[in-house]
Structure 1
Amino acid sequence: MSSNMKKIKLISVFVITLIFSGCLKDNPVEIMRDMTDSAEMLVYFETNGDYINSNKMPSFVKASEVFSNLNNYIILDIRPKEKFLDGHIPGSKNVEMKNLMEIVDQMKDSTQKIVIVSSTGQAAAYATSLLRLAGYDKIYSLQWGIASWNSKFAKEWYRMVKNGFLVGRYNFQNYPKPDYSELPEVELGKGLTSELIKFRVKKLLEEGFEKVRIDIDDIMKTYNQQSNTLDYFVICYAPTRLYNIRDNGHPPTTVRYQPYEDLKSTTYLQTLPVNKPIAVYEDTGEISAYVVAYLKVLGYDVYSINLGANGMFGEDQSNSSRIIRLKSTDIMNYPVETGE
């Protein structure tokens, strides 16, 4: 057995042992002195609720729920200031993503829930996932973003729907998962794992969502017709319904990973490559943003495909029920405030 496989099996066995024995401390990995920093975080996450693989993910809240219970929510709008001034949810506060952790920390004793709002829901999903991973459990993202609050904002979402570059090169081939490999190399330093994760999350929030958002056209521009390959490892994080969607299929070499199952240490997490960039998609770009946040914390070079399948072949599927999209019934037309 290779040394890589031994390490993978060791981490998996260790996680299973901790879960079933109940021997869980804030820093459980002290038992394994040679564990890498990325493995240390992985064990910590999986023995502390395994958020990304749990039924708490995605932590969506609908516009109707927020509107009906405004007093129960603190609304943080992370859109650029000019967009906020042009219109926002009454009572919401405009903040920059880079300051989110500090702001949320100040509200940790509040009984109210915090909902993060962005234009299409993708940036809010990314921020919410990061904060959840850092231990803030009262954070939610507004599903569909502010596009679901009022038709005034839905236009931005619909403008992004398109057929991507070289969509005709997609296929229906079922590509296998790669061989297992090492986890990414991450330098955490010394201290409690939970505190080191918070420090890493803060840094990713400061870098922002735009650093991990990618357009399908930029991926398909790397297409090599001779070898039928891409420079990116593309993941369809969705059921087969989307992977082999009629009339389109998926980009060349795309591999499907089953949601809530295939990104565990005990399954296929370590089939993700560390030697090439990864791009994740599902229907709308929101759940992929949640997943990308998790993989970024673990150290992977990973990106979320803008608007998911809607930004890849949304025009072809505009009249079908095979793809999840923002519908007119999702847009509530609730009151909007302008200015500060």
Structure 2
Amino acid sequence: MKSLLKFAAIFAFLPFIMLTSCSDDNDDPQPEAQDRFDVLKKYLIDNNMDISTVIDGWITTADVVYDAMTDADDANDYYIIDIRSAEDFTANRIEWAVNSTLGDILTTAEGAGGKPIIVVCYTGQTAGYGVIALRLSGYPTAKVMKWGMCSWNATTAGAWQNNIGDVAIGNANWSDAPGEITANVAQTAPKVEYITEDGAEILAGQVANMLTNGFKGITSVDVLANPDNHFINNFWAADDVTHYGNIKTAYRIKPLTLANGEYAYLDGTASIVTYCWTGQTSSMMTAYLSVLGYDAYSLKFGANSMIHTNLESHKWSDAQIMGYDLTTGGK
């Protein structure tokens, strides 16, 4: 009887021993994510993907695309990815284009077969996000079609026709020529938190995050209403600020690179709004800054939405519409 009680006691205690053993195994310290901004920065510089390199030669025009696709030489054809909605793509599209979403653009690009890639959207702005993703993912020659589908045919030109304006002219938060730029000072970099220290893995993760979050734009009306709510970067040459003026409180950080350190003038704790002439260059910059971990936004339609009447160049007009044929149906 005593033996039976002894064995019963042992069996009763056994689960406790096993649970304690398992608990000890699960209590091993797990690695924690740490700020890898400097790892990402170094990887981009070392692999020839600094900002100035990635945005070099990033744009082409509808006439260049059309001429290449209609000449007798198939060897210079483009692989055209249209990231508009499936409904709008099916209603009116470029004959040779394939439809995708911004989120799926890297998968769609696998079908390029070595052809240079052109990304098309409504206005040439969201396409900048796609091109940054492609150029940081092994497609360094990908380009935006300037003005988007608005430049292909009048039928698809509404997005630009309906968004030009003069909201900054006479606005209290616009500093007239010669402008009044805020002096650059060193700021805090954003945090890019990962467990891995592998630069390629971090970059792939950041590109995926950027594509998942999608295009981040803000209107000129919203920015001019409360410029103090944002860190604003005027991405113009100094002479252009002198000629046209600028949004009050804006900085002018151009050139902007990692290797030479100008990125350090951007505030990694603020929402960063970049503006240019058309919103197309600023969309490229915003996409890249998003990959770096900044909370970045592109001012939609750029100066064309703020001082269109005053612009002497970089200006949307009917002259940008080529009048090329459209086709219908999916592809």
User: What SS does structure 2 have at the residue aligned with 1:183?
Assistant: coil
Give 1:36 deviation, angstroms: 4.2
Query: What pairs up with 1:175-186 in 2 under 5 angstroms?
Result: 175-178=182-185, 180-186=186-192
Q: Could you say what the CA RMSD is over the residues aligned between the two structures, in angstroms?
A: 2.1
Q: Judge conservation of contact 1:37–1:188 (CA < 8 Å) in 2.
A: yes
- Establish whether residue 199 from structure 1 lines up as the match of residue 195 from structure 2: no
Counterpart in the other structure of 1:130: 133
Once residues 260 and 246 of structure 2 are traced to their aligned partners in structure 1, the CA distance between those partners, rounded to angstroms, is 27
Q: Which runs of 5+ in 1 are unaligned?
A: 1-34, 224-229
Give 1:192 deviation, angstroms: 3.1
Q: Judge conservation of contact 1:170–1:250 (CA < 8 Å) in 2.
A: yes
Q: Judge conservation of contact 1:167–1:313 (CA < 8 Å) in 2.
A: no
Query: What pairs up with 1:291-310 in 2 under 5 angstroms?
Result: 291-310=285-304
Give 1:199 deviation, angstroms: 2.3
Give 1:55 deviation, angstroms: 7.7
What is the CA deviation profile of residues 218-244 of structure 1, one whole-angstrom value per residue up to 9, with x for unaligned ones?
Answer: 222325xxxxxx111111111124323
Give 1:250 deviation, angstroms: 1.2
Once residues 193 and 54 of structure 2 are traced to their aligned partners in structure 1, the CA distance between those partners, rounded to angstroms, is 30
Q: Judge conservation of contact 1:99–1:206 (CA < 8 Å) in 2.
A: no
Counterpart in the other structure of 1:284: 278
Give 1:277 deviation, angstroms: 0.9
Once residues 207 and 39 of structure 1 are traced to their aligned partners in structure 2, the CA distance between those partners, rounded to angstroms, is 23
Counterpart in the other structure of 1:48: 47
How does the TM-score come out when normalised to structure 1? 0.78
Q: Judge conservation of contact 2:51–2:256 (CA < 8 Å) in 1.
A: no
Counterpart in the other structure of 1:219: 223
Indicate which of 238, 247, 251 corresponds to 1:251.
Answer: 247
- Establish whether residue 147 from structure 1 lines up as the match of residue 146 from structure 2: no
User: What SS does structure 1 have at the residue aligned with 2:232?
Assistant: strand
Alignment coverage as a number of residue pairs: 287
Counterpart in the other structure of 2:105: 100
Q: Judge conservation of contact 1:167–1:251 (CA < 8 Å) in 2.
A: no
Give 1:58 deviation, angstroms: 4.4
Once residues 217 and 252 of structure 1 are traced to their aligned partners in structure 2, the CA distance between those partners, rounded to angstroms, is 13
User: What SS does structure 2 have at the residue aligned with 1:89?
Assistant: coil
User: What SS does structure 2 have at the residue aligned with 1:102?
Assistant: helix
Q: Which runs of 5+ in 2 are unaligned?
A: 1-33
Indicate which of 331, 335, 339 corresponds to 2:321.
Answer: 331
Give 1:61 deviation, angstroms: 2.0
- Establish whether residue 80 from structure 1 lines up as the match of residue 85 from structure 2: yes
Paired letter, 2:182: Y
